[in-house]
Amino acid sequence: MIYDYLYNLTGSEALAAFIQSLLPLFIFILPFALFAVLMERKVSAHMQDRLGPMRVGYHGILQTVADILKLVQKEDIVPADTDKPLFNIAPALVFVGSYGVFAAIPFSGAFVGANIDLGLFYIVAISGLIVAGILMAGWSSNNKYSLLGAMRSAAQIISYEIPTMLVILTIVMITGTLNLYTLSEMQTGYFWNWMIFGGPDFGISKFIFIPLMIIAFVVIYISTLAEVNRTPFDIPEAESELVAGYHTEYSGMKFAMFFLAEYANMFAVSAIVAAIFFGGFQSPFGYLGNTFGVHWLIPFEQFFWFTAKGLFFVFVQMWLRWTLPRLRVDQLMALCWKYLIPIAFVDLLIVGLITVL
Amino acid sequence: MGLVTVLIGMKVTFKHIFVPAVTIQYPDVKPELPERERNRLYVNMDDCIGCDQCARACPVDCIEIETVKSLPAEDLGKTSNGKKKALWVTKFNIDIAKCCYCQLCVFPCPTECIYMTDVYEFSEYNRNNLIYNFVTLTPQEIEEKKDNFAKLEAEKAVQKAAAAAKAAAEKTAAKPAPKTENKPPENTGSVN
Amino acid sequence: MLTEEKIPTKPDNVRTEEMVLNMGPQHPSTHGVLRLELTLQGEIIKECRPHIGYLHRCFEKHAEAMTYPQVVPYTDRMDYLASMYNEFGYAVAVEKLLGIEIPERVEYIRVIMGEFQRIASHLVALGTYGADIGAMTPFLFCFRDREKILSLFELVSGARLLYNYIWVGGVSHDLHPDFVRLAKEFIPYFRPKIKELNDLLTGNRIFIERTANVGVLPLDTAINFGISGPNLRASGLKWDLRRDDPYSIYDKFDFDIPIGKGEMGTVGDCWDRYYMRVLEMEQSLRILEQALDQIPEGDVSSAIPKRIKPPAGQVYSRVENPRGELGYFIISNGTVNPFRIKVKGPSFVHLGIMNELCKGHMIADVIAILGSIDIVLGEVDR
């Protein structure tokens, strides 16, 4: 894998680990965040019969670069009575929480940041840092609307982690592993081996699993949508208590970090859903590398499929954002506690029974 | 059931991705405006007879007109539809920032010299540049016309005073006559 | 020291305060400059007081210094989203005062313009309501359709929003030769768009959850407060000035008056008021079809008086604005300037029920309620 390749290249463990940890950030996430902002604006524009950014670069490709340049050169305003250490750490914490998830996600057969056996568990734990960051941001802003927005956002994220974990438990019961890399490897072959179609073991249980897996997929997709604060669950982002929520008082580079963290988070949860249910980096119908005997092509193909699936789910998230109205806070909570959790729980029980029997 | 309505909504938005955009790229492509379009006002001073109808019709009082009567000997020419001009227009200001583009000034004009063009991009950096002056006379000419008119008025006033003095003198001279006036009509009446 | 601290164990020891929140004159949602002072108990609203006057431009005082034809551009600017109807109402009032007869072609043109204006105004109301609730796409679809109507108006009068078209005694220009053809093309273009709007917004489960059973206006409260227009019809009463107090030639057309039936919740909730406007757009299309077919030839400027000098007297006449009952009370003293024009704007009256409707709801519902009663601040403040 890449770590070994780098170790052979540099001869030093620390350097190899260092470069390997930076790779996802610079090669993938930052360009992806730039691309995702533009994609959101273009997708929303075309859905609304208009054109989106057209002036900067060809058809607006360089628009995000212009936005980032603008944000970087802005004055960093820190309001007077804020809690300065918390105020400064909060965006960094949110960014770390979003980015840290990528360590356990397999980008291709040859690259996974850290092949942890507790992959999924680690992911859920690290994204808990986001909640801490949001609460810090809301509290230290010294603004009662920010505080209320932050508390609502924290309540939303914490509540929706429960259905996510229940669905993850369901998958764990079927496959027996928390390691995302092994999960993706298990769904090898063709697309009917994917988890959404019942898993790689062929038998009567596979067909019983299909409706259960589809329900689990819908539940986890909705819960992760709420975890990243996207419409219809975007109370913290848009008009929370009529102002902008927990990041009201941030400007310049710190705001840019919240901004990029949101898009990184979107891709992270899309990648997780793709890895769990849709085969991660596996191709739906075999590899060109295998057919032509060009074996070094396979990791690149897998990377392509991984990106394609992630981008597709990100597109569906954007699609939902521009179609649906917003849920009110109490309806959001009711959806989680009264509908998603019971459904996920029942799903878990049935899958557990089938696995045991 | 809620999920079904969500999916129906998603189908609508998805179809719209493939609909071509209805917007145009403005500064490069400009929309075609219909012929009755109401944008910036323009006054053709050759046709203006200084009747003040447009200023009176304006609801926001953005037109200021001042005129000076011309001397009887001067010929100001005719407008394009045959009316003879008799007034020098010394001031014709339209404050286009005040104008509400209602077109009420266009209808009363007898010569159709004030009308709305299709110019809509006329922003200025200085607000005073939005007061449009339409007079075609130079300031010296304006002074000259005003002086001429003042002189004419003065002459007329002098003449009037002289005539009034004369009439008063005639009246005082003719005053004793009324007692003897009764007799001559009788004498003239008897001579056939 | 725990024993010395007052630990609230009984409800009388717990002191709660009501918080006053200001939804200030600058809003994320549209509707104009309005200040709502909300008194909250936790999340629940105890009182909602609107403060208005931010857009007061002294229309009624200005009108006393203008001549009758000069007042028409001022009436445009009151309810700027439905300008044709403001002019229509004023023209009907002054013609009543003068006692003149209008050519039939003028009446047809006025009805056609009025109904197009009703559709345009409702499109803004529905689009911005969706945007308030969070769905941003229907807003753009509604405005795209409204552009077609505005370009029709531009063809005829020269302006897109403030027309100065319907004058006392007639209209300012005759219809453009292309107008009838383009207007007839609009109707089949627009019908599927209403269906699309219903798919996207009206039937959406989340939208229904946000608006059904929220801000219920019972019928007797509505009548007591003087509500009119779609808000009153949503509460169940079939009252439409075009049918019940006919003006112009509305009695010649065949159209239905939709009322609220509480399909998704209670009768008179926000969903009903929203749906009323959708149904009214369909009925306006019916009126338009009939009017465009029947429009006669004639001279539109024959009845426009040279100098409008009504005899001394007073008149109150009302028309059915897209928002409700728009009334003009004009007192004339025999001169060319009106002595007094008083406008009864429906949005002003409707703003009065905000307090009634918002009690007991949450803050997110205030936005939903405010959007559903469809006010325009230009009409509230004049």
**SS3 assignment for chain C:** CCCCCCCCCCHHHCCCCCEEEEECCCCCCCCCCCEEEEEEECCEEEEEEEECCCCCCCHHHHHCCCCCCCHHHHHHCCCCCCHHHHHHHHHHHHHHHHCCCCCHHHHHHHHHHHHHHHHHHHHHHHHHHHHHHCCCHHHHHHHHHHHHHHHHHHHHHCCCCCCCCEECCEECCCCCCCHHHHHHHHHHHHHHHHHHHHHHHHCCHHHHHHHCCCCCCCHHHHHHHCCCCHHHHHCCCCCCHHHHCCCCCHHHCCCCCCCCCCCCCCCCCHHHHHHHHHHHHHHHHHHHHHHHHHCCCCCCCCCCCCCCCCCCEEEEEEEECCCCEEEEEEEECCCCCCCEEEEECHHHHHHCCHHHHHCCCEHHHHHHHHHHHCCCHHHHHC
pLDDT at site C316: 93
Choose from C167, C205, C300 for mutation: most chain B CBs within 10 A. Answer: C205
Classify A240 as helix, strand or coil. strand
- Using alpha carbons only, give the angle C240, C243, C248 rounded to the nearest 5 degrees: 110
pLDDT surpassing 70 at residue A8: yes
First to last CA, chain C: 62
Per-residue confidence band for B36, with pLDDT thresholds at 50, 70 and 90: confident
Report the pLDDT value the prediction gives residue C87, as an integer from 0 to 100. Answer: 92
Which of these ranges, A305-314, B37-46, C2-11, has the smallest mean pLDDT? Answer: C2-11
Report the SS3 class of residue A106.
Answer: strand
Round to whole Å and give the CA distance between C196 and B103.
38
Indicate the pairing of strand C19-23 with strand A111-112: unpaired
Report residue B191's pLDDT band, with 50, 70 and 90 as the boundaries: very low
Q: Which of C132, C305, C129 is nearest to C230 (CA)?
A: C129
What average pLDDT does the segment B7-32 reach?
86
- The one-letter amino acid code at A170 reads T
Is a pLDDT exceeding 80 seen at residue C308?
A: yes
Question: In angstroms, how far is the first alpha carbon of chain A from the final one?
Answer: 38
Q: What is the mean pLDDT of residues B131-135?
A: 86
CB-nearest partner of C206 from A48, A232, A322:
A232
Which residue's structure tokens are 């229509």? Answer: C88
In the chain, the amino acid numbered C194 is I
pLDDT confidence bin for C9, thresholds 50/70/90: low
From CA A245, how far away is CA C75, in angstroms rounded? 40
| C313 vs A194, more confident | C313
- By C-alpha distance, the chain C residue nearest B31 is C151
pLDDT > 90? residue B84: no
Asked whether C311 and C332 are in contact (CB, 8 A), the reply is: yes
Question: Residue type for B101, please?
Answer: Y
Is there a cis peptide before residue C25, judged by omega within 30 degrees of 0? Answer: no
- What integer pLDDT is reported at residue B187 of this predicted model? 46
User: What are A262-294's pLDDT values in tens digits?
Assistant: 888 889 999 999 888 888 888 877 777 677 777
Comparing CB atoms, the residue among B1, B13, B22 nearest residue C137 is B13
Sign of the dihedral defined by the CA atoms of residues C364, C370, C371, C373, in that order: positive
| pTM of the predicted model over 0.95 | no
User: CB A325 to CB C363 under 8 A?
Assistant: no
| Mode of pairing for the β-strands spanning B63-69 and B87-95 | antiparallel
Looking at residue C157, its amino acid is S
Do residue A49 and residue C362 have CB atoms under 8 angstroms apart?
no
Under DSSP, is residue A69 helix (H, G, I), strand (E, B) or coil?
helix
Determine the pLDDT at residue A205.
76
- DSSP strand E in chain A: where? 106-108, 111-112
Distance of CA A290 to CAs A186, A283, A296, A299, C257, Å? 18, 12, 10, 11, 69
Q: Which two tokens stand for residue A66?
A: 């212009």
3-state SS class at B63: strand
Contact (CB, 8 A) for A160 and A228: no
The alpha carbon dihedral of A203, A208, A212, A214 has a sign of positive
Measured between CA atoms, how close is A51 to chain B, in angstroms? 6
Number of H helices, E strands in chain B: 5, 5
Instruction: Please answer yes or no on whether C158 and B57 come within 8 Å at the CB atom.
Output: no
Q: Which chain C residues have a beta carbon less than 8 Å from that of A44?
A: 136
Write the pLDDT tens digit of every residue in A79-118: 788 778 888 888 888 888 888 888 888 887 777 777 788 8
> Which domains, from first to last, does chain C contain?
67-309 (1.10.645.10)
Say which residue the tokens 């990184």 belong to.
A264
**CB distance B79 to B111 below 8 Å:** yes
- Name residue C213's amino acid: N
B11/A contact by beta carbon, under 8 A: no
Pick from C46, C34, C24: which is nearest to C371 by CA?
C34
Q: Is A198 helix (H, G, I), strand (E, B) or coil?
A: coil
The CA-based angle A91-A94-A95, given to 5 degrees, is: 85
Instruction: Identify the CA nearest to C71 among candidates C379, C330, C375, C345.
Output: C330
d(CA C162, CA B97): 16
Place of tokens 């975890």: A227
CA C256 – CA C259 distance, rounded (Å): 9
User: Is residue A242 pLDDT above 60, yes or no?
Assistant: no
What's the rounded Cα separation, in Å, for the pair A260 and A249?
17
CA nearest to A355, candidates A212, A215, A220: A212
**What is the phi-psi region of residue C111: left when phi exceeds 0, alpha when psi lies from -120 to 50, beta otherwise?**
alpha
Does residue A211 surpass a pLDDT of 80?
A: yes
**B110 inside 8 A of chain A by CB:** no
Least CB–CB distance from B12: residue in C71, C72, C199: C199
Q: How far apart are CA B131 and CA B99, in angstroms?
A: 10
Residue A328 confidence (pLDDT) above 90: no
Q: Is C158 close to B36, i.e. CB distance below 8 A?
A: yes
Residue C116 has pLDDT above 90, yes or no: yes
Paired tokens of A185: 């490897």
Amino acid B183: pLDDT? 47
Checking phi first, is residue C269 left (phi over 0); if not, alpha (psi -120 to 50) or beta?
Answer: beta
Cα separation, B44 vs B62, in Å, equals 17
Residue B66: strand pairing partners = B91
CB atoms within 10 A of CB C166: 28
Out of A47, A51, A324, closest to residue B17 by CB: A47
Rounded CA gap, C276 and C260, in Å?
Answer: 7
Which of the four pLDDT bands, split at 50, 70 and 90, describes residue C1? Answer: very low
Provide the token pair at A309.
């699936």
Task: At C341, list the tokens.
Answer: 């024009």
What residues contact residue B69 under an 8 Å CB cut-off, 6+ apart? B86, B87, B88, B149, B152
Q: Do residues A130 and A150 make contact, with C-beta atoms less than 8 angstroms apart?
A: no
Question: Dihedrals φ, ψ of C87, to 5°?
Answer: -65, -40
Distance set, CA B78 to CA A188, B49, C10 (Å): 94, 9, 97
Chains that touch B (3 or more CB pairs under 8 A): A, C
Does the structure show a pLDDT above 50 at B184?
A: no
- If one counts every other C-beta atom within 10 angstroms of the C-beta of residue A307, the result is 18
Nearest neighbour of B12 by CB, restricted to C66, C73, C200: C200
The Cα C365–Cα A200 span in angstroms is 49
Confidence at B137, pLDDT banded by 50, 70, 90: confident
Round to the nearest angstrom and report the end-to-end CA distance of chain B. 125
Choose from C27, C129, C137, C202 for mutation: most chain A CBs within 10 A.
Answer: C137
Alpha-carbon span A152 to C302, nearest angstrom: 66
**Contact (Cβ atoms closer than 8 angstroms) between residue C310 and residue C333:** no
User: Could you read off the pLDDT of C267-301 as tens digits, one per residue?
Assistant: 889 999 999 999 999 999 999 999 999 888 888 88
Mean pLDDT within B79-101:
84
Angle ∠(C114,C117,C118) on CA atoms, nearest 5: 90
Q: Round the average pLDDT of chain C to a whole number and report it.
A: 87
pLDDT tier for residue C14 given thresholds of 50, 70 and 90:
low
Instruction: Measure the CA–CA gap between C308 and C90, rounded to whole angstroms.
Output: 13
Chain B residues lying within 8 Å of C203, measured CB to CB: 5, 8
